[in-house]
A and B are shown apart, each in its own frame.
Chain A
Amino acid sequence: MELEKKVLHSIYFVTFFLFFNLCFITEKIDLVPLIFCLSSIILIAYSNFIIRKFYPRGDKFLFLISVLLCQIGIVMIYRLDIKTKNFEIPRYALKQMTWFTIGITIFMIILFIAPKMIRISRYKYVYIFIALSLLMSTLFIGKEIKGSKNWIVIGAFSFQPSEIAKFFIILYLASALSKQINKRDIIETVVFTFFAIGFLVLEKDLGAALIFFGIYLVMLYIATSDAKYVGLGLLAFSLGGLLSYFIFNHVRIRVQIWLNPWKYKLDKGYQICQSLFAIASGGLFGRGLGLGYPYLIPLAINDFIFSAIAEEFGLIGASALIILYFLLVYRGLRTAIYSKDNFSQLVAVGISSMLAFQVFVVIGGVTKMIPMTGITLPFVSYGGSSMLLNFLSLGVLYKISEGR
């Protein structure tokens, strides 16, 4: 109990220092970051108080680690705001702060209203229907932003249905695979997942397709404990990858950029080259907040935020971030081990693997380990839909960890 408080206090400290540092990076000393800092700390303290009082049995690390990641994200976005837009108001940081607040609210609401997990395990067709219609909706009314047709724009508000669909796919798979299953059930899940991934490929959202596939394989393996399916899945993956390489132009371009970004460094590969420069110039300890040039990377606030962090906090800071994700995923899987029923177990496994794959795909992408696919770093990247999804999943995970 005492130690837990110490962790919380250290989180307040690091939040304070991060924002305090932000005050100095413009020409004249700027006090707006301190307002951000204060509201963040109040929000964290208040929600932590509620959790401790009403839901003390859940896994508090899930919450602590996520809010710390969010703070790092908001600071980085604020910092990038300074150079990317006219600096009267930190536009994106303010928005991200709003999303963070909404996310925490959703987390709380889930804790208050969510029924026992087992009760919602029987609506599998409802879940897959919601997931597929979300994915399909972008094909008809979607708008193409940044090369992927996976956005729905309503007025000033735009969101990515594929983010929310991920959550429903996990619920569907968990409810389909938690019962006694035979070959027919497995084929059914294969068909639905195939459709989901197919839509994503058509919308050119390759990162999400990769993550859906990863989640599916992990959940299938956990449910059946049959390594044969993993082998078959990987085979299907290589076949599908090869086919899409020859059929779709955008896949081919991504792979070509990945193989040799320097050849396209002035147009298609500009982003990845800048990202590599940024990471390299960070070195071991980084340049320090405000001293680097991470704003040279296009889209640094969402997909490439990891490179920005690596530039200003160095290898050590970036590794700390990866360790934090590792601990988060570990806590998620631990929740799965101690959960009471198959359904909750599979949901927890699904959510943890979603986080893990997302982190792998982004960090692998920006460091040129795998081809780059546009996807957000959970809790850190700028983005409303992903923030909502992450806090929604976190709420469910916390709920499951409470139940034991």
Chain B
Amino acid sequence: MVRYVSTALKFIIIAIIYVIIFRIIRLMYIDLKRKGRLKEDMDLALEVLDAPEDINISRGSVYPIRDSITIGRKEDNSIVIEDAYVSNYHAKIILEDDIYIKDLDSTNGTYVNGKRIDRLTKISEGDLIEIGRITFKVI
């Protein structure tokens, strides 16, 4: 009895496990394809153009914008800038269909292409963003 049941079931069990593996891989493949397309659409990042020597951010660093991010001096920001001219929660970058930046009532303000912003401002490639003594470029 055991002999027949186990011998038959062994093949069935292994077959189903491989079906599961196959389905998982297929799902991953679909998922990967979608992800790849999404990434091509918006592949923006912030590059540090100018920063003083004495803080934790160095010139040339690149921060990818994968999601909405916050910039500030507190440690739970996405980009932490240890600079006295930067407020605790200084600015927020919002990723919707386009990319926007918003000043979070910071003391020294956020500048886009030299102009101080006071409301949600759309940014695009090539824009310069100044926060405290740091200049970012959208690339």
**Which residues in A have some Cβ–Cβ distance to B below 8 Å?**
3-4, 6-7, 10-11, 13-14, 17-18, 20-21, 24-25, 61, 64-65, 68, 116, 118-119, 121-122, 180, 285-291, 312-314, 316-317, 320, 323-324, 327, 330-331, 338, 340-341, 404
Contact = CB atoms under 8 A, between A and B. Distances in A.
B42 interface: no
Interface residues of B, number: 32
B7 A291 contact: yes
B118 interface: no
A22 to B, nearest CB: 10
Interface string B1-29: 11101110111111011111101111110
A327 B21 contact: yes
B66 A68 contact: no
B6 A180 contact: no
Contact of B27 (A4, A18, A25): A4
Given A118-B76, A404-B67, A24 B14 contact: no
A272 B108 CA distance: 69
Contacts of A61: 24, 27-28
B14 A288 contact: no
A375 to B, nearest CB: 24
Interface in B61-88: 66-67, 69, 75-76, 78
B23 A291 contact: no
Contacts of A25: 2, 6
A21 B69 CA distance: 53
B24 A7 contact: yes
Contact of A324 (B3, B21, B26, B27): B21
A10 B28 contact: no
Given A21-B6, A24-B5, A61-B27, 16 more contacts: A3-B30, A10-B20, A20-B9, A21-B10, A64-B24, A118-B78, A288-B6, A312-B10, A313-B14, A317-B14, A320-B14, A323-B21, A330-B28, A331-B28, A340-B66, A340-B67
